[in-house]
Structure 1
Amino acid sequence: MAPLRGAKRRKKAAAEKKAAMAAAAAGQGAPGGDWWDGFCMRMAGTLSSAEDAHRFESLFKMPRKTFNYVCSLVKDDMMVRASSYTFIDGTVLSLEDRVAVALRRLNSGGSLVTVGTSVGVNHSTVSLITWRFVEAVEARAGHHLRWPDSDEMAMIKSKFEKIHGLPNCCGVVDTTHIIMCLSSAEPNCKVWLDHEKNYSMVLQAVIDPDMRFTDIVTGWPGSMKESSILHSSGLFRLCENGARLNGSKLTVSDGSEVGEYVIGDAGYPLLPWLFTPYQENDLSELKVEFNKRHSAARTVALKALARFKDTWKFLQGEMWRPDKHKLPRIIHVCCLLHNIVIDMEEDAAMDDAHISDDHDANYRQQVCQLSDEKAVRMRDKLSEHLNSS
């Protein structure tokens, strides 16, 4: 029987791809032997178009210089056993190869098999490399996620006032659910069942006006309310004890003072250091204006969390029966990487126009009625001040 139409062409293409893979393995991707050229050749059979192969950020969700910085951070830990990880053809993975594999696992949401097949390594190698990468970032990048010092906080407060009209505001606190695929037969699975009937783990974060995380806590089950997670967090303890949000006070129009504060949605209690929106009906003009500015400032957190989950698709519920002891550490590392990308692009304008603000799709707004009497007075004083200034 005569060969099928196109069979020769496909055979030739396959041979060319095999030759390109061999060249990549030998570090002969292009003049200069750039690692990226070789990696592109390995990915040539899985990228959606030739254009994608030359768009570094489409694969790794970060510019090349940021990728190089991440490699420099984790080099010592990732290369402890330099020859322990190889491609299927036996070629040893370079540092860049290892970081690339781990980033693809975290940002593509693909399975171990899918990621491994796309770059030519066994799925077990993807798993081992990813966890080694998580441990390395956790150990080496902690300085990228910390509470701001006094000078940094002054800049944060200035931005919130200039952009959103909220003076002395130090951040936005919010939570998001990391969906998990658990079996209903698993012991204690019900504790992870949230109010929308999904199995989830909660991430609480404080976010600055540049969408950077300044404080996080995770690991709590989805069944817990926002207010309960707040009360269980180190943020609550430190703020209640005066160890945080203890900087300069704002003198308002009547001469009284309002301390530093963060803002949160209606799911949080109203506290002297955490201002929530007015919830009653028939609000006065003062309160309407406060809610308007409060809502505008809160979009920073909504966009940051939406961007975070869209970038690190591993956290979108694709993993099967995740290790609940490892997942908080993976979430933490993704938060560190989120901040690293922002820190490395500090002088560049953040293009957030296309970012959704729906990071918890189909989740209803939680409501907390708890309020501190002192906080009620302080919020009223701030509302009056906003309308008189």
Structure 2
Amino acid sequence: MHKNLSFPAAGMVIDGVVRGRALTIDERTAIAAAVNVVLYRCQLERTAGKMKAAARTRQKVTALASSGEGLDLGALSDTVLQVCCALGCGAFPRATPRWWMKRRTGGTWEDLCQSDDAANDYFRDKLRMSPHVFCEIAETLSPYLQWRVTFYRVPLQPDHIVVYALYRWASGETYDSGTCSFGIRRASGITAVRDVTAALLAAYLDKISWPTGVQKAVVLRAFADKGFPNCHGCIDCTHIYVDKPANANGEDYCDRKRRFCVQAQVVVDMNLRVLDVFVGYPGSVHDMGMLHLSSLWERVESGQLFTGPHVMLPFGVRTNGYLLGDNGYPQSEWIVVPYGGLAQHPTEARFDNKQKTARGAVERAFGRLKGMWRLFLRTHKCNMDTLPQQFIAVCILHNILIDAGIPFDDNLLWEVGPDGVRCRVDLGMHAPLRPVCMESSTGDSLILRDALAERMGAQ
């Protein structure tokens, strides 16, 4: 069709015969103006600032009308064909939604679009980040959040989808009542969380990775300053409280406080960044059981994790790397735990104090992560199949905000209880009732802790 249709100066060619007459300047100007209006109407629908887009449209149409005499007729014909084909195949969105489609309410999203001086504080309160960081995340995730055809509601734009997911994680609202204060329906909210979770895992999965290069040097230096040379991080578990899972044995998900929960094992550095996360097993699983089930155990045992140069310690001990843990783990060649006990030698007491101080990074990391993303701080109804992916997604957001320098408000770790008393929130970190049996610890693992304690005493 495109090859057989043309607009020469003498008229239109049909079946090899020139018919009709040449287009006048007024007719060409009218066609070009119509094409221009269609194009800019589409742009107007895609632009959040409708007033600015409308102004640009009027300027373009006015400029086009004043310069219509210089239009090339052949180029105009090609443009008309391209626009007609694009409209025919549905490449452009409709200028207005179908009459039976419900328009979405604005609510908090309209407030987030404000451009006054309060916008930064409003974004931090609702989404835990600045407008600049949000725009970067939304732009990165947009290719993964394509519009979906719907016959009953106007499709959500990518930035709206990101906002709804972030707001749910930050506020902890569960849509149990069908709607929430954000002005989003339950179905749309669940879909937004699912889509944004998948997009974050696809676009930002490298945000959770074992440090290498310059980042590794920074991590090792921070722990060395605390008295632990060649230490790569702190390890611990936290409980994510949930409603009783359907179609599952409730006893498996009960912790020792008789609350339904899921275990999450996390490794962090001194800057509170998440280096490794493993989540999904029932709350009844012991910390040591989580470690044996995780890929972290496989990588360490196969020699893939601690591959850097070794460090010499007293007693001729060499170490390629290790983690700091609590007494929920046995002392090993790559997990260093406190001595514990009541009657301690001064060297042991000094070591335990320093080890506790350094290991406090993991508790501060859980405080920041759960304090900001409060859905994982409280008991909530969730899909057990997608919960692990959601927790990994908020760990990714946790690292993004740390890298962006977003501060944390310590007031998020305090709340007023039912009795009216202000207290710290429960981070789901349970101290072990008693140390893990040390029978499995080898002589090399025990001497590593002694060598570190001796080094601290010598300094």
> Structure 1 length as normaliser, TM-score?
0.80
CA 1:359–1:210 in structure 2 vs 1: closer, same or farther (change >3 Å)? farther
Equivalent in the alignment of 2:15: none
Equivalent in the alignment of 1:136: 199
CA 1:94–1:186 in structure 2 vs 1: closer, same or farther (change >3 Å)? closer
- Structure 2: which 5+ runs fail to align? 1-45, 55-105, 414-423
Report the 3-state secondary structure (helix = DSSP H, G, I; strand = E; otherwise coil) of the residue aligned with 2:234.
strand
* Letter aligned with residue 93 of structure 1: L
| Selected match of 2:356 from 266, 287, 295 | 295
Report the 3-state secondary structure (helix = DSSP H, G, I; strand = E; otherwise coil) of the residue aligned with 1:118.
coil
- 1-structure distance, mates of 2:370, 2:267: 16
Instruction: Work out whether residues 107 and 183 of structure 2, in 8 Å CA contact, stay in contact via their aligned partners in 1.
Output: no
Q: Does 1:188 align with 2:249?
A: yes
Cα offset for 1:41?
6.9
Instruction: Work out whether residues 255 and 261 of structure 2, in 8 Å CA contact, stay in contact via their aligned partners in 1.
Output: yes
Cα offset for 1:169?
1.1
Instruction: Work out whether residues 239 and 429 of structure 2, in 8 Å CA contact, stay in contact via their aligned partners in 1.
Output: no
CA 1:188–1:256 in structure 2 vs 1: closer, same or farther (change >3 Å)? closer
- 2-structure distance, mates of 1:70, 1:52: 17
Cα offset for 1:107?
1.3
* Letter aligned with residue 230 of structure 2: N
Equivalent in the alignment of 1:6: none
Cα offset for 1:66?
1.7
| Selected match of 2:309 from 248, 265, 269 | 248
Instruction: Work out whether residues 74 and 137 of structure 1, in 8 Å CA contact, stay in contact via their aligned partners in 2.
Output: yes
**Among the aligned pairs, what percent are the same residue?**
23
- 2-structure distance, mates of 1:210, 1:280: 30
Equivalent in the alignment of 1:382: 452
Equivalent in the alignment of 2:437: 369
Q: Does 1:328 align with 2:388?
A: yes
Equivalent in the alignment of 1:19: none
Instruction: Work out whether residues 43 and 118 of structure 1, in 8 Å CA contact, stay in contact via their aligned partners in 2.
Output: no
Instruction: Work out whether residues 175 and 205 of structure 1, in 8 Å CA contact, stay in contact via their aligned partners in 2.
Output: yes
Equivalent in the alignment of 1:278: 339
Q: Does 1:100 align with 2:170?
A: no
CA 1:361–1:152 in structure 2 vs 1: closer, same or farther (change >3 Å)? closer
Larger relative CO (CA 8 A, sep 6+): 1 or 2?
1
- 1-structure distance, mates of 2:368, 2:389: 19
Instruction: Work out whether residues 170 and 262 of structure 1, in 8 Å CA contact, stay in contact via their aligned partners in 2.
Output: yes
- 1-structure distance, mates of 2:362, 2:181: 34
Instruction: Work out whether residues 305 and 359 of structure 1, in 8 Å CA contact, stay in contact via their aligned partners in 2.
Output: no
Cα offset for 1:259?
2.9
- 2-structure distance, mates of 1:210, 1:103: 23
Q: Does 1:337 align with 2:405?
A: no
Q: Does 1:60 align with 2:104?
A: no
* Letter aligned with residue 324 of structure 1: M
Equivalent in the alignment of 2:211: 148
* Letter aligned with residue 400 of structure 2: I
- 2-structure distance, mates of 1:30, 1:173: 52
Equivalent in the alignment of 1:174: 236
CA 1:317–1:257 in structure 2 vs 1: closer, same or farther (change >3 Å)? same
Report the 3-state secondary structure (helix = DSSP H, G, I; strand = E; otherwise coil) of the residue aligned with 1:269.
coil
* Letter aligned with residue 243 of structure 2: C
- 1-structure distance, mates of 2:50, 2:356: 51
- 1-structure distance, mates of 2:197, 2:452: 43
Instruction: Work out whether residues 147 and 158 of structure 2, in 8 Å CA contact, stay in contact via their aligned partners in 1.
Output: no
Cα offset for 1:373?
2.2
- 1-structure distance, mates of 2:200, 2:375: 16
Q: Does 1:204 align with 2:265?
A: yes
| Selected match of 2:138 from 65, 71, 96 | 71
CA 1:379–1:311 in structure 2 vs 1: closer, same or farther (change >3 Å)? same
Superposed CA offset, 1:152-209 (max 9, x none): 22210101122x22221110001000011116x8442211111221111000000011
Instruction: Work out whether residues 232 and 322 of structure 2, in 8 Å CA contact, stay in contact via their aligned partners in 1.
Output: yes
Superposed CA RMSD: 3.0
* Letter aligned with residue 397 of structure 2: L
> Structure 2 length as normaliser, TM-score?
0.68
- 2-structure distance, mates of 1:120, 1:85: 20
Instruction: Work out whether residues 109 and 160 of structure 2, in 8 Å CA contact, stay in contact via their aligned partners in 1.
Output: no
